[in-house]
Amino acid sequence: MLSTGLSEIKRHLRTHRLPHIWCPGCGNGIITQAFLRAVEALCLDPDKTVIVSGIGCSSRVVEYLDFDTVHTAHGRAIPLATGIKIVSPQLTVVVLAGDGDIAAIGGNHFIHAARRNIDLTVIIFDNFTYGMTGGQYSPLTPKGERTATSPAGSVESPFDICELAKGAGATFIARSTTWHAFDLVHLISRGIDHHGFSVIDVIAGCHINYGKRNQRETAVKMLRWQKEHGVPIDIFRQLPEKEKKDLFPIGIIHSSSRPEYTDAYTKVARSGLNE
Amino acid sequence: MNDANTQIPQGRFEIVVSGSGGQGIILGGKLLAETAAVYQGCQAAMVPCYGPEVRGGVSTAEIIIDSDPIDYPRITRPNILIAMSQEAMDRYAPMLGPDGLIIVNTTLVEDIPEPFEHVFKAPFTEMAVKMMKTPVVANMIALGALATLSRLIAPEALKLTLEKHVPSKVLDIDCMAVDQGVKIACKAYFGWQVS
Amino acid sequence: MNNDNIQLMQGNRACAEAALAAGMRFFAGYPITPSSEIADFLSSALPAVGGNFIQMEDEIASMGAIIGASLTGIKTMTATSGPGFTLMQELIGFAALCEIPCVIVNVQRGGPSTGLPTSPAQADVMQCKWGSHGDYPMVVLSPSSVRETFDLTIHAFNIAEELRTPVILLSDEIVGHLYERIRIPDISNLSLIDRKRPTKPPPGRYEIYHTSEPDGIPCIPDIGTGFHCHITGLIHGKDGFPTRDPDKVRDLLKRLHGKIDSRKRRICLMEKREMEDARIVLCSFGATARSCFQVVREGRLEGLKIGGINLKTLWPFPDFVFQELPKSVETVVVCEMNQGQVAGLVRQATGNRLKVVGINKCSGTIITPGEIRSAIDRPI
């Protein structure tokens, strides 16, 4: 899948909508590229793949992707994707969303979709902040980090979105970063291929509105931070607790199997509600 | 299904079935309205009224039966009241005209207001427990009595409606309850006419 | 169901039955009094006809799910009451802008806030039109009986599909819970409308919001059929992609309003009674219209020159009805279970030519014929 050339990816782009709105050095492009490499690797039919997003910098990605794309309201990508998937289970439905979109305003939808184990793949463009509105803190901003609305450092504890997804019942959960771009392709492919609710949390950099407030004012510093803080899950698990502080595990965090929502519904509906 | 004893009312006719939540009041109202609509060829409407309680609280079914299309679907001056509880009696008896008919569940109603000429009293709940081993069919005894006293619906039509709505294992008990109501009402000491 | 199918049916059930008859195959909802009977019934009825039912985590999600499902080309519906309707406003705006057909049922209860969950009100008339931010058109139908609930639900789906717009069926606690005798029409004779779709992908880029008329209805493909549509809640051009070009912005918003307003006479349904020589006209909608017609019927027997109008369509507001009243009419009395939301619209429609009086009641109880009668018997 790493051999996928740029030209193969390019055919999935609405090039007439480019250039994109993202800042130079933004991590969103790396995730987009990884997603398209995964589409190629899985030989997904672009006519049968629907991409749904919410609101924010990252959610604008759908405008550039040559599939059926739905740019919904803030936080509402998962409910719309749920409606699409239930009536058209033959479609591959992918949700691309930012950390504020999915964990704050859309947080309730996220846990309930996980609980249902509906076959959606959610790729979180996790840059710890609301980039489009000027860099405010999100539910995934690490404690103590400075943002436009936490000038003295955030006092709130963030969600561990992967653990939240696990607790809520998601059956495939992975984390990666824009530094680990090649692993990312593999993890996204695994997530889309998984039959059930899949979450891929991708740590991405927003040096313009986030990094500059936290001594990571360049794209390179953002990537270096990701490289230094992301630890493969197997190694991470063996670390002493005090060393885990500030680090985060990457790789497949959780993978399990249980009945998928649309399968379960169809089965019960067919088995006959009518005596 | 119009047997000789059924009398289709000309014009508008208002009935209140009221008691407490859990007594099958709304079901009773539904059965009555449906029997009139489907088997007696009348226009019929039923408005369920209840509070937030699933059990207890006052529960009321307002039924309108009319030979013409029904505009206002709520009661204004009821012709018949089935009072299954004291609260129901206290609340709705004052709305009845002096020529109205009150059917009283004496198991749960002690005070019956004075001025009414046509009051049919029977311990529906006690009868249900004694004969059918369950209080929940008290409403069916009352409906059987209402059918006989008012001649608005035929008891046999009521049973056909019941067949559509209650599980087969309890249908017999419900029909027995209707028959009991018919039986006691036949012995009523007064004649009452749909006017 | 056969031709002669007479039943005693509840208003909420008639709504659900009509939705199925109209071809609705996806329902998403959240439990709320007094609308729950609709979801309860559809949870078993939909799978029986190959459809899908889901109970979502809230009303926001319910609205989202029916929009998503509608995008794939199927008819969808949700049902709620005041508090849930408030939560749905966000995505009702989205559906209006993106021209996604769907039907939203609001069985009104007393408000504001949690209000009176089991009591009737008619105070969501303005919310239906102005509930979401921005300036968008809305089609709102209001049934006053079980039969009307059936017919208007069919009408709602037909308008939603034809005009590609969300349609609100604005019922109330009385009509929703009322059981009435109804003869269910033969479903094979119902005239049903399906949204227009392009048949095959044309060469080059397909403009999903293209219309040849300035008040036209676009022919938007179903997603999953190879068109690679882009649907966005941003203001968009004919190609569906975001734009801030002032001409394109204006054209879109004008067309959204135009497609409803230019078809107003066809969308607006009403029932008029005894209008010919009426001096007083009782105007109402929903359950309250029943009280008005009772007063008209009894008043005429006494020789009162009184007529009645039941507005079955509240939005677009049928102002033309009030501009075309018979010359005999001197006073319009608007009866509604709110502080006068429709009365204001009637005043606007009549200008200063007629006296418009409101009979309003906000106590969680219906306006009775007796109350209307004593109000009009007083010198107005």
User: For residues C47 and C63, what is the distance between their CA atoms, to the nearest angstrom?
Assistant: 20
* A contact residues 64-83, partner C, Cβ 8 Å cutoff: 66-73, 76, 78-83
Alpha helices in chain A (DSSP H): 6-10, 28-41, 77-87, 99-100, 107-116, 161-168, 181-193, 219-229, 233-238, 241-244, 261-272
Going from the C-alpha of B80 to that of each of A136, B32, C8, the distances in angstroms are 67, 12, 20
| Interface contacts (B, C; CB < 8 Å) | 67
> Is B72 in contact with C368 (Cβ distance < 8 A)?
yes
Task: Looking at the complex, report in whole angstroms how far the Cα of residue B46 sits from the nearest Cα belonging to chain C.
Answer: 5
pLDDT in tens, B48-65: 987 766 677 899 999 999
A1 within some domain? no
Which residues of chain B make contact with C369, given a CB cutoff of 8 A?
A: 71-72, 76
C-alpha span between A185 and A7 (Å, rounded):
17
Residue in C with minimal Cα distance to B42? C181
Contact C228 A69 (CB under 8 A): yes
Q: Is A250 a member of any domain?
A: yes
Higher pLDDT, B149 or C378: B149
Q: Secondary structure of chain B: what % helix, strand, coil (to 5)? A: 40, 20, 40
The two tokens of residue C256 are 């959204």
Chain mean pLDDT for chain C: 96
Q: Which domains does chain C have, with CATH numbers?
A: 5-189 (3.40.50.970), 270-377 (3.40.50.920)
Number of domains in chain A: 1
Residue bearing tokens 């017999």:
B172
Q: Is C197 on the interface with A (CB under 8 A)?
A: no
Whether C13 contacts chain B with CB within 8 A: no
A vs C, Cβ pairs < 8 A, gives 134
Q: Which residues of B touch C370 (CB under 8 A)?
A: 76
The reply to whether A177 falls in a domain is: yes
Contact state of B46 with C8 under an 8 Å Cβ cutoff:
yes
Collect all residues with Cβ–Cβ distance below 8 Å to C80 and sequence separation of at least 6. C29, C30, C32, C35, C59, C62, C88, C104, C105, C106, C107
Contacts of C8 in chain B (CB under 8 A): 30, 33-34, 37-38, 44, 46
Mean pLDDT computed over B129-147: 96
Please choose, from the candidates B108, B73, B112, B72, the residue with its C-alpha nearest in 3D space to the C-alpha of residue B92.
B112
Q: Do B73 and C368 touch (CB under 8 A)?
A: no
Q: Say if CB A130 and CB A86 are below 8 A apart.
A: no
- The answer to whether the CB of A120 falls within 8 A of the CB of A109 is no
DSSP string, A131-157: TTTT-EE-TTSPTT--BTTBTT---SP
The DSSP 8-state label assigned to residue A43 in this structure reads T
Report whether B77 contacts B97 (CB < 8 A). Answer: yes
Q: Which residue of C has its CA nearest to A116?
A: C56
Question: pLDDT by residue (tens digit) across B111-125?
Answer: 998 778 899 999 999
Token reading at C338: 């709110």
What distance in Å separates the CA atoms of residue A188 and residue A110, rounded to the nearest whole number?
18
Q: Is the peptide bond before C201 cis (omega within 30 degrees of 0)?
A: no
End-to-end CA distance of chain B: 21
Beta-carbon count within 10 A of C374 CB: 11
* Buried/exposed A56-69: b ≥16 CB within 10 Å, e otherwise: bbbbbbbbbbbbbb
Cα C166–chain centre separation: 9
B33 touches chain C (CB under 8 A): yes
The predicted structure's pLDDT at residue C21: 98
Question: Which token pair is B84?
Answer: 């299954």
The single-letter DSSP state of residue A59 is: G
- Over 80: is that where the pLDDT of A223 sits? yes
Asked if C291 has any chain B CB less than 8 Å from its own CB, the reply is yes
Confidence class for position A275, pLDDT limits 50, 70, 90: very low
Question: Is C233–A73 a contact, with Cβ atoms under 8 angstroms apart?
Answer: yes
Report chain A residues whose CB lies below 8 A from the CB of C91: 73, 76
With contact defined as 3+ CB pairs under 8 Å, the chains touching B are: C
**Which run of H or of E encompasses B34?**
helix B25-34
Residue-level length of chain C: 380
- Test mutation, B74, B160, B162, B164, chain C, max C CBs within 10 A: B74
Task: Tell me the nearest-neighbour CA distance from B131 into chain C, angstroms.
Answer: 31
Distance CA A112, CA A118 (A): 9
| Separation CA B186–CA B179 (nearest Å) | 11
User: What pLDDT score does C147 carry?
Assistant: 97
CB–CB of A79 and C56 under 8 A? yes
As a CATH number, domain B12-186 is 3.40.920.10
Domain extent at residue A240: 6-272
Question: Quick check: C44 contacting A, CB < 8 Å?
Answer: yes
Q: Give me the residue from A55, A72, A86 closest to C69, CB to CB.
A: A86
Contact C174 B70 (CB under 8 A): no
Long-range contacts of residues C292-301, Cβ cutoff 8 Å, at least 24 apart:
C292/C335, C292/C369, C292/C372, C293/B71, C293/B72, C294/B71, C294/B72, C294/C369, C295/C369, C295/C372, C295/C373, C295/C376, C297/B71, C297/C273, C298/C369, C298/C373, C299/C373, C300/C274
Using CB atoms, pick whichever of C8, C145, C287 lies closest to residue B44: C8
Shortest Cα–Cα distance, C290 to chain B (Å): 5
Beta strands in B35-181 (DSSP E): 43-50, 58-66, 80-83, 101-105, 118-122
Residue C178, min C-alpha distance to chain B (Å):
5
What's the rounded Cα separation, in Å, for the pair A225 and A66?
32
Q: Are A199 and A173 in contact (CB under 8 A)?
A: yes
C69-85 pLDDT tens trace: 999 999 999 999 999 99
Closest CA to B37 of B182, B178, B161: B161
Q: What's the pTM value of the predicted model, to 2 decimals? A: 0.96
Q: Sorting pLDDT into bands at 50, 70 and 90, what band is B97?
A: confident
The pair phi, psi for residue C118, each rounded to 5°, is -110, 10
Would you tell me the crossing angle of helices C59-71 and C82-98 to the nearest 10 degrees?
Answer: 30
Q: Are B45 and B64 in contact, with CB atoms under 8 Å apart? A: yes
Distance CA B46, CA B61 (A): 6
Pick from B34, B37, B71: CB nearest C290: B71
Q: What is the mean pLDDT of residues A93-106?
A: 98
Cβ distance of C369 and B76 shorter than 8 Å: yes
Structure confidence at residue C203 (pLDDT): 66
DSSP code at position A105: I
Give mean pLDDT, residues A193-220. Answer: 97
Of chain A, the end-to-end C-alpha distance in Å amounts to 50
Per-residue pLDDT at C200: 73
> What number is the average pLDDT over the span B2-6?
56
| Buried-state track A184-207, b at ≥16 Cβ within 10 A, e below 16 | bbbbbbbbbebebbbbbbbbbbbb
**Interchain pair A67, C76: CB under 8 A:** no
Q: How confident is the model at residue B79 (pLDDT cuts 50, 70, 90)?
A: very high
Query: Helix B25-34 vs helix B138-150: angle between axes, to the nearest 10 degrees?
Result: 40
- Out of C64, C224, C229, the one facing A91 most closely (by C-beta) is C224
C-alpha span between A18 and A60 (Å, rounded)? 12
Please report, in tens digits, the pLDDT of each residue of chain C (380 residues total).
Answer: 333 689 999 999 999 999 999 999 999 999 999 999 999 999 999 999 999 999 999 999 999 999 999 999 999 999 999 999 999 999 999 999 999 999 999 999 999 999 999 999 999 999 999 999 999 999 999 999 999 999 999 999 999 999 999 999 999 999 999 999 999 999 999 999 999 999 776 667 789 999 999 999 999 999 999 999 999 999 999 999 999 999 999 999 999 999 999 999 999 999 999 999 999 999 999 999 999 999 999 999 999 999 999 999 999 999 999 999 999 999 999 999 999 999 999 999 999 889 999 999 999 999 999 999 999 998 65
Which chains form contacts with chain C, at 3 or more CB pairs under 8 Å?
A, B
Residues of A in contact with C223 (CB under 8 A): 50, 68, 70, 84, 91
Whether residue A82 contacts residue C61, with contact meaning beta carbons closer than 8 Å, is answered with: yes
Give SS3 for B62.
strand
Q: Domain residue spans in chain B?
A: 12-186
Looking at residue B98, what is its pLDDT?
A: 83
Residues in Cβ contact with C201 at an 8 Å cutoff, skipping those fewer than 6 apart: C221, C225, C226, C227
Asked if A68's CB is within 8 angstroms of C223's CB, the reply is yes
Across the interface, of B42, B71, B76, the residue whose CB is closest to C297 is: B71
Interchain CB contact of A50 with C (< 8 Å): yes
Classify the phi-psi angles of C179: left when phi > 0, otherwise alpha if psi is within -120 to 50, otherwise beta.
beta
- Residues of chain A contacting C234 with CB distance shorter than 8 Å: 71
Instruction: For residue A95, tell me if it sits in a domain.
Output: yes
Peptide bond before C34: cis, by omega within 30 degrees of 0? yes
Q: Does residue A75 belong to any structural domain of this protein? A: yes
Name the pLDDT band for A160 (thresholds 50, 70, 90): very high
Which pLDDT belongs to residue C2?
Answer: 39
The DSSP secondary-structure symbol of A13 reads B
CA-nearest of C371, C288, C366, C292 to C110 is C366
- Starting at the edge strand found earlier in the chain, the sheet holding C313-315 runs C52-55, C24-29, C75-80, C102-108, C166-172, C139-141, C313-315
Q: Which has the closest alpha carbon to C333: C289, C366, C276?
A: C289
Asked if C54 and A82 come within 8 Å (Cβ–Cβ), the reply is yes
Distances (CA, A) of A90 to A44, A50, C225, C361: 12, 11, 12, 52
3-state SS assignment for residue B61? strand
| A97: nearest Cα among A31, A179, A33 | A31
Contact A273 C225 (CB under 8 A): no
List of residues 6+ apart from B88 with CB closer than 8 A: B18, B19, B20, B58, B60, B81, B109
Query: How high is the pLDDT of residue C1?
Result: 36
Who wins on pLDDT, C237 or B21? C237
CA angle A241, A243, A246 (to 5 degrees): 105
